[in-house]
Amino acid sequence: MMAPALLSAVLLLLLLPAASADSSDPTNFTIMVTNAVTDSANQTYSTYVVYRGILLGGMRRLQDSNSGFSFTYTENLNYGPFLESVNGLAGNSEERTYWELLVQKPNSTVIRPDVGIGCYIPSANDKIILNFNRY
């Protein structure tokens, strides 16, 4: 009975040095704010998260360090953070507008993550696209 627990502990110790070696390096990425509704000029910002950190943390870090970037969100009990506004522009159900989350990977492929700002883990050199759009 003790052998499986001991084996698990040994495996965990073997994995920890590899994980901790990467954990000190920040993951740098950019956030680009675009507007498909009014074709306003794009705004691009640089930020980072800690190893395996979530997008929301990088967005908060950016908001705290750059007065030109701001955002608001609400917390949905079932789905987590829901992005409401970026740089003072809010989505509106009457106008059928919302903030869309897209990610341009370093190979230029654009994806629509199946998670939101509270769960997405940016990779190095991702371009996070916060696009104001209509539905």
Look at residue 44 and give its three-state secondary structure.
strand
What CA–CA distances, in Å, run from 98 to 41, 53, 81, 107, 135?
18, 25, 14, 27, 7
The domain ranges of the chain are 25-134
pLDDT digits (tens, 9 = 90+) for 57-115: 999 999 999 999 999 999 999 999 999 999 999 999 999 999 999 999 999 999 999 99
Distance CA 6, CA 125 (A): 39
- Strands 43-49, 71-76: pairing kind: unpaired
Average pLDDT over residues 23-51: 94
Distance CA 98, CA 18 (A): 40
For 64, phi and psi rounded to 5 degrees? -70, -25
Answer yes or no: is pLDDT of 37 > 90: yes
pLDDT digits (tens, 9 = 90+) for 2-11: 555 554 554 4
| pTM confidence score | 0.81
Tell me the pLDDT band of 124, cut-offs 50, 70 and 90: very high
Identify the CATH number of the domain defined by range 25-134: 2.170.130.30
Answer yes or no: is pLDDT of 30 > 60: yes
Compute the residue count for the chain: 135
What is the DSSP-derived secondary structure letter of residue 41? P
